[in-house]
Amino acid sequence: MRMQTIALNMLLAVLTVAVTMPAIATVLVSGAWVGATVEGQTSTGAYMVINSDHDVALIGAEAQIAGHAAIHERRMHGNMMMMMPVERLAVPAGHAVDLDEHNYHVMLDDLKHQVKPGEMVTIRLKFIDAKGGHEDVLVSAVVRELTAHEGHDEQMGHMHDGMGNE
């Protein structure tokens, strides 16, 4: 009888720990790529598809090749296409969020060197869930050439926050 009580107490302890552990979202990133640059170019974009099994938000990014990385959105501002920083990008559970050259993307600024087709760039994406839990996801993105129409709008600008930040 004593062995059964010990076994039951151990089982209850394990179940209590399992129930109180926070659920960690599974964030999957696919199709990641970075636009190649030319000599002297100081910024480029990173593009990918993000999926999660829990509601999360992308709240930041880092890359060793860049002095600064941020989530950006392309949006019409009057008659000009502008890129504006976004503090958080919702990734609803079960819904793919595309970061592409037409809408949201990760902007890599202050590049430390030219990035050439075929190279691999590691990007750390930072997520937060509804309960405040943080998760970082490392992404390996291949560098590839931009086609003639991607990323070269004649009327492209950046919006600033008034404090010198984009």
Confidence band for 97, pLDDT divided at 50, 70 and 90: very high
Better pLDDT: 83 or 98: 98
> Per residue in 129-165, pLDDT tens?
989 999 999 999 999 997 644 443 333 444 433 333 4
Residue 30 pLDDT exceeds 90: yes
Give the residue-averaged pLDDT of 87-92. 97
What was the pLDDT predicted at 75?
Answer: 85
Topology given in CATH for the domain delimited by 25-158: Immunoglobulin-like (2.60.40)
pTM: 0.74
> Per residue in 38-77, pLDDT tens?
999 999 999 999 999 999 999 999 999 999 999 999 988 8
| 3 state DSSP class of 21 | coil
> Rounded to the nearest 5°, which phi and psi values hold at 71?
-80, 130
| 3 state DSSP class of 10 | helix
Q: Are 111 and 43 in contact (CB under 8 A)?
A: yes
Whole-angstrom distance, CA of residue 108 vs CA of residue 61? 9
* Domain limits, the chain: 25-158
